[in-house]
Chain A
Amino acid sequence: MTAPAAAPPIREEMLPLPYRVVGSRRETHDTVTVEFAPQHGALDHPAPGQFTMLYVFGIGEVPISIAGYTAGTAVITHSVRAVGAVTDAICALDRGAQVGLRGPYGVGWPVAVEGGRDLVVIAGGIGLAPLRPVIHHVVENRQTYGAVSLIYGARTPDDVLYTDELRDWRGRFDLDVEVTVDRASNGWHGDVGLVTNLLGRIAFRPDQTVAMTCGPEIMMKVVARDLIGRGVDPDGIALSLERNMKCAIGFCGHCQYGPDFVCRDGPVVSYAAVRDRLRVDEL
């Protein structure tokens, strides 16, 4: 009888670090923004668009886009929509609760634009969360961009995230912020309609534009089609994909998307690289 083989060592990048909830704010009826502070060691400074694997002990682990990062305290902000057991648990976390975080993982947004190019950011629903760090980056590095516009679409006015920040961004003279909803309620004086309806209202030079979009994939397809119709280069359009990520380091294959693993080769990809795959049913 041979002795049982020793368990393989756990890869360091698979080990979560302990973080504690230091702040929580309800955004909508099903979405909460939670701030996590490191307890013993902190994750590396994330790039806008990267994600972490967030482990609620005893319940499970899910990939969550990073919605904010505070450099001094290494606090990581996540906005989480309650759609299952783990995300329900995250939304219910009290201040002081401990979770495990690992990451940051993945390819982020191409925020390092050259030559003062225009930036068009288009988000739908919870898709504004991964793009929030882009706006923070833009605000801190405003001089490196040309015209900057954010178009945000939500289901109803009650589903709009980050209302205070949207108001602040809208109040700036160097950002054009447009918000639209699918269905307006009484008292809503904003726009009604698809995000692409607002493309005609913002100023950008199509041949000098970088676009970033995040939301339901159908929305991103429509957005990309309209941007290309207005002259934006498909290579200049970045989108963030969402797939069932488990290991987050390109090992397990759960998030395979054609020849790519979304956790390793994404979540942010060039529209030109995935355009054909977005036309494949159920991929």
Chain B
Amino acid sequence: MKLIETIADSRLLAHLAAEEIDLLATTAHEARYSAGEVIFNEDEEANTFYIVREGKIGLELTSPRRRPIVIQTLGHGDLVGLSWMFPPYRWSWRARAIEDTSAVAFDAVAVRRQCETDSHLALVVLRIVADQAVARLHSSRTQMLDLYEFPR
């Protein structure tokens, strides 16, 4: 599938107009990562975001004197990276490919620049990122309940 088709088919971008899809496509390229490869590191500049085409990516919390802890995995159709949208534009987590993974990588700096001049695009993109942030907040809160431990 061509890059533009992948972008157009993404459920995340379903509310974008055709010309906005085209605009995003000009900032996009295909990225491939081998299993185990680090995609970005905590505190690095957040200048790219991704939509996963195939494979699996883990968001990791790094901690001194222990192995990294995977806090969430992202797969087909998922958005990787939220911090690129908000100052100080730095990653909060490390992202690492768990499997061989292909993704559409977007130039976040260019998208931010486009959003500065296109209020509709800015609103739609902000909603996409906010939706993901809210969903992950809900998931994290529910996960914190330790649901599966007895007593229920």
Residues in A lying within 8 Å of B, measured CB to CB:
81, 83, 124-126, 153-155, 159, 180, 182-184, 186, 188-194, 196-198, 200-201, 215-219, 222, 242
List A contacts of B147 (CB < 8 A).
124-125, 155, 182, 215-216, 218-219
Is A193's CB under 8 angstroms from B11's CB?
no
* B152, chain A: closest CB distance, angstroms: 5
Interchain residue pairs A-B with the least CB separation, the first 9: A125-B148, A194-B139, A191-B73, A155-B148, A216-B147, A193-B72, A184-B70, A216-B152, A192-B70
B75 within 8 A of A: yes
Is A192's CB under 8 angstroms from B146's CB?
no
Supply 19 further A-B pairs (C-beta < 8 A) apart from A197-B135, A201-B77: A83-B151, A124-B147, A153-B148, A155-B148, A182-B148, A183-B69, A188-B70, A191-B56, A192-B70, A192-B72, A192-B73, A193-B73, A193-B139, A197-B73, A216-B148, A218-B142, A218-B147, A222-B138, A222-B142
Is A186's CB under 8 angstroms from B67's CB?
yes
List A contacts of B78 (CB < 8 A).
200-201
Is A192's CB under 8 angstroms from B148's CB?
no
Give CA–CA (A34, B29) in the complex, Å.
53
Given contacts A193-B139, A201-B75, contact A154 B152 (CB under 8 A): no
Give CA–CA (A194, B149) in the complex, Å.
14
* Minimum CB distance partner of B59 in chain A: A192
* Minimum CB distance partner of A183 in chain B: B69
* A240, chain B: closest CB distance, angstroms: 12
* A57, chain B: closest CB distance, angstroms: 25
List A contacts of B58 (CB < 8 A).
192
Contacts between the two chains (Cβ within 8 Å), count:
72
Is B72's CB under 8 angstroms from A201's CB?
no
List A contacts of B99 (CB < 8 A).
189
A-B contact pairs, 29 of them (CB 8 A): A124-B148, A125-B147, A126-B148, A154-B148, A155-B147, A155-B148, A155-B149, A183-B69, A186-B67, A188-B70, A189-B99, A191-B75, A192-B58, A192-B70, A193-B71, A193-B73, A193-B143, A194-B139, A196-B139, A197-B73, A198-B75, A200-B11, A200-B78, A201-B75, A201-B76, A201-B77, A201-B78, A216-B152, A222-B138
List A contacts of B145 (CB < 8 A).
218
List A contacts of B69 (CB < 8 A).
183-184
Given contacts A200-B11, A222-B138, contact A189 B143 (CB under 8 A): no
Contact with A along B54-69 (1 / 0, CB 8 A): 0010100000000101
* Minimum CB distance partner of A182 in chain B: B143
List B contacts of A184 (CB < 8 A).
69-70
List B contacts of A197 (CB < 8 A).
72-73, 135, 139
List B contacts of A192 (CB < 8 A).
58, 70-73
* B65, chain A: closest CB distance, angstroms: 14
* Minimum CB distance partner of B66 in chain A: A186
* Minimum CB distance partner of B151 in chain A: A83
Give CA–CA (A182, B150) in the complex, Å.
15
Given contacts A192-B73, A200-B78, A201-B75, contact A215 B139 (CB under 8 A): no
